[in-house]
Structure 1
């Protein structure tokens, strides 16, 4: 279902004029109508294309190519759901051309229906795709896996894509996606190696790469450098929740609690489903002795996902600090059942066992010492934050 016409706009317009001249002599010629519609779509003449496609479908109502092209016009004019229904109908009838699946996946991605995107792109495998679809298809499929939390699956897909790219290597957007995936898959060394293979200009011009550079610096305790990268990333993409979160963590590490709170509140507003942002905000609020604010943040995380043990552990810790030990113990049992190694639950346990109800610098130092190995491994940024705070 690929285009049969030249992509140069001037040549396309001239060709369209010729085709319309022929069509004037033979108005019911379906092949001519299809060529006219193809040229109109490529020139973004959506209304004209819809009219031409309507004429084709009045002559041949089941024409799959005309129906696909009408879905393209619908999608391009913002009628995403209409387009998706048409594309699903074509697939249900057995029309399995990859461009149909690709267009459907794009519609579903715009609706943030990531399971639907994964389903749409499930077949064919990457090595059976037309060459002109490979990069866009693989990138969207990897993004969809990432959005669903299937990070290992996304990394595996990216590795397949990289092999298929051969000597040309992954395109820049693919390297951006892979760097973020490696970081989220706790493969910081691999992410750093990938970043080292990018040019300085690529890192400077791609907000995703700048953000990865920021998190790598943050994990090594280089808060000032990290903040510089996050601020640069935000100058390129102001709506990046990931960069806002990083900026908040970097500001907190440097002791700028007010700025950190502003950045972290912006991060959760941009991405309310990201539990890690709520927890980062809650910890900065805890360290600033804002127990009510921290509780509100943890409860917001629980509203997103009641099965996340760290949220229950965070609430248990807050209840300890609010001197509600019985409620804290009840919440702690839930936290430990969901995640026996959860850092928040372990801190709550320690606070209860040591009869502590205030996160003083001395208590923070003891916590940092008690859980140094665990927190350094599970959350190096939080470890650096605790270390900075008890020294503040």
Structure 2
């Protein structure tokens, strides 16, 4: 197992990588059965994306009956690079049965789970390693250490996708002494934001960006924190940089939607939220943002659909019931609205949107000034989803 490399290897500048591959292949012509040279050449071909050349070297090693386990892992690495994940998983599982639990193998298997969007399977696979239930081998040195670093990143990403935020935050708090990679710190910062720990979100995102100035999740966190401070221009600047690098980053589009809401640009907000939910259809907070943006546009049928989708995702979320109740009041469906108001209050006595819907029913929110007073009374010092307090966040939107 000591000879098993990591996937993916670190990538040098592409021209240097190709030069090194050419040199190694030249040496290999003089010594074609050298096992270490053949392994190095295969790895270099994988690094440069020369998968057909990597396959040639793999075939050579297999024809020479070289270390079956090590080259089995390399074959799985090549299959993963070619996005043939099911075949790679079959090889890795066979190796795991032979060799037992090992972080290099388990990380790659967890990668396959994650890439296939089976976040629950990824979590289950990584749980023994993240909980300390498995004794980490001290052999393999850097390979084990790097695999564990990557496991932590993948663990947090999986929990975030599963919306297991309490579990994720508890793990982060329990492992403060563990040095996380910039990627893991970036994901941790988003989790901190989602559990309304803005100071921790700022610290974790700062650590990520100090080591990796373009770390996507950390930049999204910093943009969200800027929105909490009502600094939409700063947020837009950060989010623009994120989307240049990662145009399908759903959280960035969602944050842009909230920037549009903050600036009262509701048509633009709707478009950004719609892009966001197309990329992450399971994110309830973005469906809420889209629903409220449609309310501000007086597109009640679309707003109703957004809140209904949020309810389909989780019927025990008070603000989804409350948001739908607001739309139903505006559609003059008072009996249905009252049912959702009551359900929201049973779930959360302080449900903001339910209180707003009730005020609409009673006529308390009859004009803009009344809405402004109502917002402060309802929201008080409740924590906002992007940091800060709700009374700082929503009144400009409700004023419309």
Specify the alignment match of 1:387 in structure 2. 395
Change beyond 3 A, Cα 1:255–1:339: same
CA-CA distance at 1:369 after TM superposition: 3.0
Indicate the residue corresponding to 2:38 in structure 1. 36
- Aligned-residue CA RMSD (Å): 3.7
**Is the 8 Å Cα contact of residues 241 and 270 (structure 1) preserved in structure 2?**
yes
Q: Spell out the pairing of 1:124-143 with structure 2 (5 A cutoff).
A: 124-125=129-130, 128=136, 130-143=144-157
CA separation of 1:88/1:313 partners in 2, compared to 1, >3 Å: closer, same or farther?
farther
Q: 2:182–2:207: 8 Å Cα contact kept in structure 1?
A: no
Q: Output aligned runs, 1:45-194, within 5 Å.
A: 46-47=51-52, 50=55, 63-93=68-98, 95-125=100-130, 128=136, 130-158=144-172, 163-165=177-179, 170-194=180-204
Partner of 1:371: helix, strand, or coil? helix
User: In the TM superposition, what whole-angstrom CA distance separates every residue of 1:9-64 from its partner, at most 9, and x where no partner exists?
Assistant: 6666655565666567xxxxxxx679736642442254465566568778979944
CA distance in 2, matches of 1:387, 1:9: 58
The separation in 2 between residues aligned to 1:161 and 1:43, in whole angstroms, is 37
Indicate conservation of the 8 Å contact 1:114/1:148, yes or no: yes
Is contact 1:195-1:209 (8 Å) kept?
yes
How big is each residue's C-alpha offset from its partner over 1:332-380, in whole Å with a ceiling of 9 and x where there is no partner?
344344444432233333433x246x76413422421330226455675
- Deviation for aligned residue 1:115: 1.3
Indicate the SS of the match to 2:163.
coil
More helix, by proportion: 1
1:311 and 2:325 matched: no
**TM-score for both structures, normalised by structure 1:** 0.80
The 1:200–1:9 alpha-carbon spacing in structure 2 relative to 1, beyond 3 Å, is closer
Range with greater deviation from structure 2 (311-320 or 102-111): 311-320
Aligned to 1:237: 246
Q: 1:109 Cα deviation (Å)?
A: 1.5
For 2:371, the equivalent position in structure 1 comes to: 364
CA distance in 2, matches of 1:16, 1:237: 35
Which consecutive residues of structure 2, in runs of 5 or more, have no partner in the other structure? 11-16, 138-143
1:215 aligns with 2:216: no
- Count of aligned pairs: 378
2:345 counterpart of 1:344: no
- Hey, what's the Cα distance between the residues in 1 that align with 2:121 and 2:2? 23
DSSP-derived class of the 2:374 partner: helix
Aligned equivalents of 2:62, 2:100: Cα separation in 1: 17
Pair 1:342–1:378, CA change in 2 (3 A): farther
What secondary structure, in the 3-state scheme, does the structure 2 residue paired with 1:43 have? helix
Shift in Å, 1:289 = 2.4
- Structure with the greater relative contact order (CA < 8 A, sep ≥ 6): 1 or 2? 2
Distance 2:145 2:197 in 1: 30
- How high is the TM-score relative to the length of structure 2? 0.78
Q: Which runs of 5+ in 1 are unaligned?
A: 25-31
